[in-house]
């Protein structure tokens, strides 16, 4: 959901404040809704229309991540979200965003990886290992 904070339309005296930007709240939804990609047992994607007639795939539930390692790409299962600098509540809700540190199961052992893609924009989760 698009976050919007706006001042009251009423003045302190009770009169209506007719601001020039009265319709800005209507325009705030133009950016689209937050995909809120979560760790889940099944993958779930949906397409949205974009400006110019194109489409964009958004991933809302994810099970795997594509880990780049020495020029190769390995598919790994996502176990948990370790930390997320975008919002401290995203760790508790297991929401994946760019820059989040996730724990993945790769070759039978748990390792940490950092997400490098934007899951709500690209429809996939790309990551690199964290040392």
**In this structure, is residue 62 part of a structural domain?**
yes
3-state SS, one letter per residue, for the chain: CCCCCCCCCECCCCCECCCCCCCHHHHHHHHCCCCCEEECCCCEEEEEECCCCCEEEEEEEECEEEEEECCEEEEEEEEEEEECCCCCHHHHHCEECCCCEEEEEECCEEEEEEECCCHHHHCCCEEEECC
Q: Per-residue pLDDT tens for 39-81?
A: 999 999 999 888 889 999 999 999 999 999 989 999 999 999 9
- 49 compared with 95, residue with greater pLDDT: 95
pLDDT at 111: 96
**In this structure, is residue 104 part of a structural domain?**
yes
- Domain range enclosing 44: 35-129
The number of folded domains in the chain is 1
CATH for 81: 3.10.290.70
pLDDT at 34: 80
**In this structure, is residue 87 part of a structural domain?**
yes
CA distance 88 to 16: 38
Q: What is the mean pLDDT of residues 88-103?
A: 96
- 37 compared with 49, residue with greater pLDDT: 37
Give residue 131's pLDDT band: very low, low, confident or very high (50, 70, 90).
confident
pLDDT at 61: 96
**In this structure, is residue 3 part of a structural domain?**
no
């Amino acid at each position: 959901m698009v976050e919007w904070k706006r001042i009251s339309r009423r003045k302190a005296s009770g009169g209506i404040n007719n601001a020039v930007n009265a319709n800005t709240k209507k325009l705030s939804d133009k950016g689209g809704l937050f995909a809120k990609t979560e760790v889940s047992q099944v993958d779930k994607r949906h397409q949205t229309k974009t400006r110019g007639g194109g489409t964009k795939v958004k991933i809302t539930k994810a099970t795997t991540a594509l880990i780049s390692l020495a020029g190769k790409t390995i598919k790994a299962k996502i176990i948990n979200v370790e930390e997320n600098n975008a919002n401290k509540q995203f760790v508790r809700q297991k929401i994946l965003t760019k820059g989040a540190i996730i724990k993945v199961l790769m070759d039978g052992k748990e390792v940490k990886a950092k997400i490098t893609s934007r899951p709500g924009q690209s429809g996939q989760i790309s990551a690199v290992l964290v040392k």
